[in-house]
Structure 1
Amino acid sequence: MIKALLSLMVPCGSVLILSACQPDIPETIQQGMVYCSEGSPESFNPQRVTSGTTIDAISQQLYDRLLDIDPASGELLPALATQWRLSDDGKTYWFTLRPDVQFHHTAFFSPSRTLNAKDVTFTFNRITQTDHPYHATGGAVYPYFQSVDWGSLVKAVVAENSNTVRFELSRPDSSFLSNLATDFAAILSAEYAEQLLQQNQPELLDQRPIGTGPFFFKEYKKNQFIRYYRHPEYWRGKVELTQLVFDLVPDNAKRMAKLLTHECDVVAYPRNAELKLIAERPDVEVQSQISMNVGFWAFNTQKPPFDNVLVRKALAYAINKDAILDAVYFGYADKAKTLLPPTSWAFYHDLPEQQYDPIKAQELLAQAGYPKGFSMDIWAMPVQRLYNPNALKMAELMQADLAKIGVKASIVSFEWNSFRRKLSEFEHDSVLIGWAADNADPDNFFRPLLSCSAAESGSNRANWCDPNFDNLINQALLTADIKQRRSFYLTAQLYLDEQMPLVSIAHSKRFQAKSVKITGVTINPYGGISMAAARKSL
């Protein structure tokens, strides 16, 4: 099967490989890699999604960003921008672009130039300008940027010359540079977009991608596989893998079976219960990484009875987090008491921990007017994520806990893309989901998950809009002083504990399992995965 996925005849001189003939099939099999992923991407443009499943499959494989993040320190690093500076009032940024960065040459697009400032202005003006020819393509949905209120923040993105871009902001924002380093801020090709407009096919910009990343798009069959070829002119240097295949396997047991039978080289998110089995085999191994993430249980606060804070607190007291950590995470996670993990500089160490107390839960339900409980649903993700390796198992444990206080919970799940669509339409009562940070700034946990802007964009799973909370997290962005920012974030965490729009459950390590023949697959604390340095040995 692995040979079937990797083998693809390409004639000598194909536009897909510009510098030489495509390697013969045995060499292609040897130098290619199969990554077994947990689901199909929603789009091939990171601007359009927040799903980690999609980001893993596309962002760092196909694209680059203006800035990168050092996985060890969290510091910002040059990427497509080699340097940047800020005005004294904190509202204007200038970026100098890296020269000689090549876009992908494919069967459907041959660029006539290298990266320049037009590509950067196109990328971000598409998001903010409602009259932009590409703004409404695909539904004008840019969930991450909408959740951080990018539209009101960014007044203009201007090309001063071919290699200098100016961002004009309406107010200072200490998270701005960090947001440019997220996987969502991928730089697109303005020239390719213009070609598609002339062909009257603008929707293909998000479906048949062009970027500057280490691989270029070749083929996609929904719910089956994605095929990429290496970008021979990648600006960071030679990519070792000749091709990269994402084998789309939602079932965790099937993914693991494919790894053990060598049909996959790497598998995403093995269940924690399987880690010991993997460790006992000589041909496979586990990679782990401390990760900035949180798994949580969000209530749809616009639906009764979840609009009642007493009900939300009662449900929080009813859940036995220790049992969940044992049965779902198998000890490979820390119990959460707030959205922020303990590694964040804004973490509230002295915040009281939510206790498991069914008696207190029943008392609060009675105070709220539900002495006999009620019925509700718990939506459980059909895929495994680092912050929740088994949502269905977690839901079953919670279902049993809730029954003890008279709450009858039904467990609901759908195919992953349907699940996310219905979730963004707020059809749920509650949902088990989570978040993996995209950068080191604490804002990355608060605004994308619980701001009023995030409720409008659909990424606020609690559907919670509280002006008091919004004011706290917005004030934290107006200053660059860490002590002042931390003070606002501590108050915000205390306020969340009082209002309980969601229950933070766990902060987990990130795991992936792979063949010992594979090296260089990079996972980092801020989400995403890179195959740019991956190699396969004999």
Structure 2
Amino acid sequence: MSRDFRLTRTLHPPRTFVSGPLVAVSLSVRSEHMHKLLKALLVGALVALVVAPAAAQDDLGNVIIGSTFGSTGVNFNPITSSTATEQDIMNLLYPGLVGVNPETAIIEPNAPGGLAKSWEVSEDGTVYTITLKDYFQWSDGTPVTANDIAISWAAITSGQVETPLAYLTSYITDVRVIDDYTLEVTIPEPSCESVGNFYFQAFPSHLVMDADGNVDWQAVNTMTMSSPEDLEVGPYALSAQIPDQQTALVPVAEGQWPAEQEGPILNDGYIQKVVGDQTVQIEQFLAGEIDFLTFVPPDRRADIRSAEGISSYEFSPGDTWDYFAVNHANPENPQPARDENGNLIEQDPHPLFAVREVRQALAHAINMDDVITAAVFGEGSKMQSMYAPGTWVYNDEVPFYEYDPDRARELLAEAGWTDEDGDGVIECHGCAHAEEGTPFSFTLYTNQGNTRREAFGQIIQDQLAEVGIEVDFQTIDFNVLVDMLDQQTFDAVILGWRNSYPFSPDYTQIFGTSGDVIGGSNSVSYVSEEMDELMRRALTLPGCDPQERAEIYGQAAQLFHEDLPYIVQFSTNGMYAWQDTLQGVDPYPANLLWNLTEWTRTE
């Protein structure tokens, strides 16, 4: 999701300088020699774009220029990476097990970009025998085999790898290799979205596995796969990086990418530029220095709509949502929700936020209408749970927390938080988990350069001050923030999720106990066996009737409203934009980059 983390993974491909700008190279046949030449030329383009971006853009020819803000990706290991920026690059380097038909947004056998050619299901619906396509290969010539998928499951269950995929243990019982191109995936019970949880991206197992099948897990943990010398499958290969400035990809060498079966690569590369913030990103786009935007900040949408030479595509609900969340557990003593035997571990409570009524007070103290106006200029929707209006599981009977500072003060006082010394900040006087006299003061983090989150944070800081809560609001480097969440060493954050594609209402990944592990996605340590059970019931409902499933997810939304794993959240309407010099752009809702390999750039 843009943490910006992926909520679940995108299921198809949408990580000594040569000086001087890139010379346009048209490659109808990419030999290994020409592949290396294009890599060298693209490295030169990286330098040129940093030194003279406008001039360099004119010389880029058929190379597509995208962008992100904050930081470049630093980890393109599909087992351990957890950010959307890195996922955008990884989707272009390694195929996933299953693919999606972009027109229907349905997972299908033999879909482009997926390794699965076909699958059969056992009579009891719990065993999937998956046959893989046999024509993918790594850049060293090694075929992509079933081991390259099964190793992700082995990593999850090894207990030796910090991975955001840990939540998959809620959906999968076992993954077995039958032969080089056959996998057997076992699930605990029939599931309405089973294949959607089979998403593992290819990982080069032959680099870390010996002939007896023993894996060097330390190597898996430390591999970032962020060098041009690292292996990839395609359609692109990592060419070069300038940290926190640019990441460049080039098409893989001729013969590596199965163009006949998976479609041609019609451009000469892709560069992901890093810009300082969204304002800079928009200005560079309007100046023609960036070719497309996967998200347009609401305060600049009027500029995009009125600009000449630019096309756009809008959709609602959008595929991203931002949230304000607090850690339910003590950040000085993070621990998983369950032990190695699956039993719940009693959590060391956060001194401020472990009590549910305190979280409810925070929700009453924040005016979300102000947030929608200031952060997204009205182009978004308040969310009273994890489901946005317009999604098929939305339950309009779940109430919103009304903005009511007086009610917030009452709840805080009932929880033992009052201002006895008259300094304007409430202190603990009979509270549950903090020492007597402890002021209600905490640090709130978000990622640098995100203007809507900065506006969100400023409102939270100001409005919580009105009920006696002191907030130190800080913007920090995105990768530093991600590490804090992975390690669960924070008080409070503002971040966001980009929904899975296709959309799935199953949020076990971020609100289930299986995700409450170091490196997992339940960073706030929300522990609720009731939420686990509701998610399980909706997934395994006999017959999979959508209306009945929606009713169960509605109960989960009500539980979310009461427990507040996150305090408040809102979704932003979607908008894509691209230069008219791009040819082949054919967007779908929540899916702009599905055919990036077929885009071309003309002057």
Instruction: Give the shorter-chain TM-score range.
Output: 0.7 to 0.9
Q: 1:401 to 1:20 in 2, by over 3 A?
A: closer
What is the aligned partner in structure 1 of residue 436 from structure 2? none
1:306 aligns to 2:367 (yes or no): no
1:405 aligns to 2:467 (yes or no): yes
Shift of 1:55: 1.3
Which residue of 416, 421, 429 corresponds with 2:483? 421
C-alpha distance in 1 between matches for 2:130 and 2:402: 49
What is the aligned partner in structure 2 of residue 261 from structure 1? 287
Shift of 1:292: 3.5
Name the aligned partner's letter for residue 162 of structure 1.
Answer: D
Shift of 1:396: 0.6
Query: Which runs of 5 or more structure 2 residues have no equivalent in the other structure?
Result: 1-18, 43-55, 330-349, 420-425, 427-439
Q: Is the 8 A contact 2:67 2:281 kept in 1?
A: yes
CA RMSD of aligned residues (A): 3.4
Which residue of 505, 508, 511 corresponds with 2:572? 508
C-alpha distance in 2 between matches for 1:525 and 1:127: 32
Query: Which runs of 5 or more structure 1 residues have no equivalent in the other structure?
Result: 131-135
1:338 aligns to 2:385 (yes or no): yes
Tell me the secondary structure at the aligned position of residue 509 of structure 1: strand
Tell me the secondary structure at the aligned position of residue 331 of structure 1: coil
Which residue of 150, 162, 165 corresponds with 1:121? 150
Shift of 1:90: 2.4
Q: Is the 8 A contact 1:64 1:80 kept in 2?
A: yes
Shift of 1:19: 12
Shift of 1:32: 0.8
Q: 1:164 to 1:410 in 2, by over 3 A?
A: same
C-alpha distance in 2 between matches for 1:121 and 1:466: 30
Name the aligned partner's letter for residue 446 of structure 2.
Answer: A
What is the aligned partner in structure 2 of residue 275 from structure 1? 301
Q: How many residues align?
A: 509
1:148 aligns to 2:212 (yes or no): no
What is the aligned partner in structure 1 of residue 516 from structure 2? 455
1:178 aligns to 2:196 (yes or no): yes
C-alpha distance in 2 between matches for 1:9 and 1:240: 12
C-alpha distance in 2 between matches for 1:166 and 1:264: 44
* % identical aligned pairs: 20
Tell me the secondary structure at the aligned position of residue 418 of structure 1: helix
Q: Is the 8 A contact 1:179 1:439 kept in 2?
A: no
Which residue of 479, 499, 503 corresponds with 1:437? 499
1:214 aligns to 2:235 (yes or no): yes
Following superposition of structure 1 onto structure 2, how do residues 260-409 of structure 1 map, counting pairs within 5 Å? 260-267=286-293, 269-290=295-316, 291-302=318-329, 303-372=350-419, 373=426, 374-384=440-450, 390-409=452-471
Q: Deviations over 1:17-62 (max 9, x none)?
A: 4699999999982111221222211311233223112212x13211
Q: Deviations over 1:350-398 (max 9, x none)?
A: 21222111121111111111133332222222244xxxx6211111112
Shift of 1:472: 2.3
Shift of 1:307: 0.7
1:536 aligns to 2:592 (yes or no): no
Q: 1:88 to 1:72 in 2, by over 3 A?
A: same
Q: 1:230 to 1:342 in 2, by over 3 A?
A: same
Q: 1:408 to 1:13 in 2, by over 3 A?
A: closer
Q: 1:23 to 1:381 in 2, by over 3 A?
A: closer
Q: Is the 8 A contact 2:384 2:400 kept in 1?
A: yes
Shift of 1:455: 1.8
What is the aligned partner in structure 2 of residue 188 from structure 1? 203
Q: Is the 8 A contact 1:344 1:440 kept in 2?
A: no
Name the aligned partner's letter for residue 174 of structure 2.
Answer: K
Q: Is the 8 A contact 1:175 1:443 kept in 2?
A: no
Q: 1:100 to 1:71 in 2, by over 3 A?
A: closer
Name the aligned partner's letter for residue 320 of structure 2.
Answer: N
What is the aligned partner in structure 1 of residue 541 from structure 2? 479
Name the aligned partner's letter for residue 201 of structure 2.
Answer: A
1:42 aligns to 2:74 (yes or no): yes
Tell me the secondary structure at the aligned position of residue 91 of structure 2: helix
Q: Is the 8 A contact 1:153 1:171 kept in 2?
A: no
1:100 aligns to 2:100 (yes or no): no
Name the aligned partner's letter for residue 321 of structure 1.
Answer: M
